[in-house]
Chain A
Amino acid sequence: MNQQLLFYTLQLADNALINGHRLSEWCGHGPVLEQDIAISNIALDHLGRARSLYQYAAELFNALPPEERSTVFNSPALQEKVQMGALLDEDDLAYLRDGWDFRNVLLVEQPNEDWAFTIARSFYFDVHNFYFFEALKSSTDKMLASIAEKSLKEIAYHLRWSSEWVIRLGDGTDESHQRMQNALNERWMFTGELNTPATFELNLQETGAPVDLGIVAPRWMQKVTEVITEATLKLPASTWMQQGGKNGVHSEHLGYVLAELQFMQRAYPDMEW
């Protein structure tokens, strides 16, 4: 059961890290200074939440019986440490796992493309995050509940920011309207996974630790519809929903993200600055 809780925590940590990394790619490239600052601030909130979650995940991992620890991951660099009996910390989990050990949803690893695509990804994810973390506050797991309590106020700001941009672009010029609609349509296929539980989530359900996604899903749909309507845009047509991220099956984009994110630790193991 503890291994399931570890996967659950890692899934949330990976969502935060990869989403934060994607947003940080805009730093220095924002369309105007204020938005450059805004998106970098938001990236920092996600990275901060990722740290708390990785610290907790490391704690859960280190508490597993030694024989079980060697069966959790399939990443050579991390396994080498584990085989030597080393305990893991937040940095090991962020920097030494390969793509197949990452459990983030496919949505957050999708490339930034233009501003509308970035906003579409953030908007879908922020709506989910808001209702998800609101529910996680009542988790029976005390640590997850306190991380949720801490994060929720920040997430409320993120959601406000991305929603307002959807409206600004949708209800803007013909071109911004068209681009926003196109981006929402193109990213729609990655939204189904947000509210589809993975095996480890279902296995944990009876402990009361995880969020019941059945509660989050209708709230997500209602809020998304509300904002898209206000933006004079159309809800994308239903389509085949892609999934796999929660189980380590990713799109080709994650590899490029990790190559940049992990470069220093892989080239110079244990370096600090």
Chain B
Amino acid sequence: MEIVFTENQILDWLRSVTDPEVPILTILDLGIVRGVTLAGHEVTVVITPTYSGCPAMDVIAMNIRMALLSHGVRKVNIENQLSPAWTTDWMSDEGKQKLQEYGIAPPRRSSGLASPALFDDELVPCPRCGSEHTELTSQFGPTSCKSLHRCLSCLEPFEHFKCH
């Protein structure tokens, strides 16, 4: 029997694949799926890495494969695309909302150009109490994509998904 998949079906199945480091975000929320092409029983998924050395990328590629194979796709190709480079601008609004509810301050400003401007701290409101009275603890957090902050109103530490 010939099984025919549609692109929407594939995208729907990809919704079950989440970021192993921020499991509330699906790979579609993250904006790393750049395209899906179908050729009979063969599906090619083009993804773009968030950070060059992000260890989650290998896990994500494996999980995409597993998800599609479990739905009867016989051959899954994963292509890595470096250009255009991933930016947090591609994160869905739904994804940003989920981050906020999860207690991680979502990226706010448009990433724009890479700038080495010094001591240029962006304003990051506290995801718990909403206060804008916060300070940066470290530009580098527990994973490549996050920085560490502290709220000076409610005094809680929190993470921020960096603009990138």
Contact = CB atoms under 8 A, between A and B. Distances in A.
A145 B164 CA distance: 18
B56 to A, nearest CB: 11
Interface stretch (B7-15, B79-87, B123-131): B79-87
Interface residues of A, number: 35
A116 interface: no
A155 interface: yes
Contact of B49 (A150, A155, A161, A227): A150
A34 B52 contact: no
Contacts of A49: 52-53
Nearest to B84: A149
B139 A161 contact: yes
Nearest to A16: B52
Given A34-B148, A150-B85, A161-B139, A156 B53 contact: no
Nearest to B143: A41
B52 A48 contact: yes
B77 to A, nearest CB: 16
B interface, over-half SS: loop
A159 B138 contact: no
Interface in B104-139: 111, 114-120, 137-139
Interface residues of B, number: 28
Contacts of B142: 37
Contact of B116 (A37, A145, A156): A156
Given A149-B84, A153-B114, A156-B116, A34 B138 contact: yes
Contacts of A159: 116
Contacts of B63: none
Interface string B81-100: 01111100000000000000
B124 to A, nearest CB: 16
Given A35-B138, A150-B82, A153-B111, A44 B117 contact: no
A152 B164 CA distance: 11
A37 B53 contact: no
B152 to A, nearest CB: 17
